[in-house]
A and B are shown apart, each in its own frame.
Chain A
Amino acid sequence: MSLVNFTAREITCKIVYYGPGRSGKTTNLQYVYGRVPESRRGRMVSLATQTDRTLFFDFLPLELGEISGFTTKFQLYTVPGQNYYNATRKLVLQGADGVVFVADSQARRFDDNMESLQNLQDNLLAQGVDVRQLPVVFQYNKQDLPNDLILSRDEMDDALNFRAVLSFGADALHGTGVFETLRGISEIVLKRLATGSAVA
Chain B
Amino acid sequence: MTVTLNPLYRFDTFVVGAANRLAVTAAKAVAESPGTVYNPLFIYARPGLGKTHLLMGIGHAARAINPRMAVEYLTLDEFVEAFHAAIAAGHGEAYRKRFLDVDLLLVDDVQFLTHRREMQAELLRLTDALQSANRQIVLTSDRPPAEIEALDERLILRFGGGLIIDVSAPDYETRVAILRRKAEERRATFGDGVLEAVAQLGIDNVRELLGALNRLIAFQAVSEKALEPEQARVLVGGKEAGGKKADEREADGKEAGGKEADRREAARAEIRSASSGAGPSAALSSAAPGAPAALPSASVASASSAPDEFTDFLSEISATVAQQVDAWKSQVSAAILRWGGEGYRTARLEALLEQEMVRDPGQELRAFEADVERLQALQDQAAALAPDLAGSPAFKDPSDIPAAEALLQLTRDGAQPPPPPSPLWLLDDLIEGSGNRMALQAARAVAEDPAKRYNPLVIVGASGAGKTHLLHAIGNALAPRAGGLVACLSAPEFTSELIQAIDRDAVGTWRERYRHVGAFLLDDVHLIADKDRTQDELFVLFNLLFESERQLVFTSAVPLAAMRGVEDRLRTRLEGGLVVDLPAPDQEIRQQVVARELELKTGSRDPELAAYVASRPAESIRAAQGLLHRVLEAAEAKQVAPSARLAREVLDGTPATPSRRSGGRSSGIVAPTAGGARSREKMVWDWPDISERVLEEWR
CA distance A186 to B321 in the complex (A): 9
Query: Is the Cβ of B312 less than 8 Å from the Cβ of A179?
Result: yes
Q: Does A191 contact B (CB under 8 A)?
A: yes
Q: Does B657 contact A (CB under 8 A)?
A: no
A64 CB contact (under 8 Å) in B290, B314, B327, B361? B314
Q: Does A107 contact B (CB under 8 A)?
A: no
Task: Answer whether A68 and B325 are a contact pair too, CB < 8 Å, given A35-B309, A199-B365.
Answer: yes
What band does the interface of chain B fall in when counting residues whose beta carbon is under 8 Å from A? 35 or more
Q: Does B303 contact A (CB under 8 A)?
A: yes
Query: Is the Cβ of A191 less than 8 Å from the Cβ of B362?
Result: no
Q: Taking the nearest CB of chain B, how far is it from the CB of A191, in angstroms?
A: 6
CA distance A32 to B360 in the complex (A): 34
Q: Does A182 contact B (CB under 8 A)?
A: yes
CA distance A160 to B321 in the complex (A): 30
A interface majority secondary structure: mixed
A-B contacts besides A35-B309, A190-B324, 20 pairs, CB < 8 Å: A6-B359, A37-B300, A40-B310, A64-B296, A65-B314, A67-B296, A67-B318, A67-B321, A67-B325, A68-B321, A68-B322, A68-B325, A69-B325, A182-B313, A183-B313, A186-B320, A187-B316, A187-B320, A193-B327, A194-B327
Chain A residues whose CB sits within 8 angstroms of the CB of B292 once the complex forms = 67-68
Q: Does B253 contact A (CB under 8 A)?
A: no
Chain A residues whose CB sits within 8 angstroms of the CB of B322 once the complex forms = 67-68
0/1 interface trace, chain B 342-380, chain A, CB 8 Å (1 if under): 000000000000001111111001000000000000000
CA distance A134 to B161 in the complex (A): 73
Q: Taking the nearest CB of chain B, how far is it from the CB of A14, in angstroms?
A: 15
Chain B residues whose CB sits within 8 angstroms of the CB of A6 once the complex forms = 358-361
- Pick the 7 closest A-B CB pairs, nearest first: A199-B328, A193-B324, A67-B321, A68-B325, A35-B310, A68-B322, A194-B327
0/1 interface trace, chain A 19-53, chain B, CB 8 Å (1 if under): 00000000000001001110010000000000000
A37 CB contact (under 8 Å) in B295, B303, B316, B356? B303
Q: Can you identify 18 A-B contacts, CB atoms within 8 angstroms? A: A6-B359, A7-B359, A7-B360, A11-B325, A40-B310, A64-B317, A67-B325, A68-B321, A175-B309, A178-B309, A179-B312, A183-B316, A186-B320, A191-B320, A193-B327, A199-B327, A199-B328, A199-B362
Q: Taking the nearest CB of chain A, how far is it from the CB of B378, in angstroms?
A: 27
0/1 interface trace, chain A 58-84, chain B, CB 8 Å (1 if under): 000000111111101000000000000
Q: Does B633 contact A (CB under 8 A)?
A: no
Q: Does B81 contact A (CB under 8 A)?
A: no
Chain A residues whose CB sits within 8 angstroms of the CB of B362 once the complex forms = 199-200
Chain A residues whose CB sits within 8 angstroms of the CB of B365 once the complex forms = 199
Chain B residues whose CB sits within 8 angstroms of the CB of A70 once the complex forms = 321, 325
Chain B residues whose CB sits within 8 angstroms of the CB of A125 once the complex forms = none
Q: Does B289 contact A (CB under 8 A)?
A: yes
Q: Does A198 contact B (CB under 8 A)?
A: yes
Q: Does A9 contact B (CB under 8 A)?
A: yes
A11 CB contact (under 8 Å) in B295, B300, B321? B321
Chain A residues whose CB sits within 8 angstroms of the CB of B308 once the complex forms = 35
Q: Does A151 contact B (CB under 8 A)?
A: no
CA distance A11 to B357 in the complex (A): 14
Q: Does A100 contact B (CB under 8 A)?
A: no
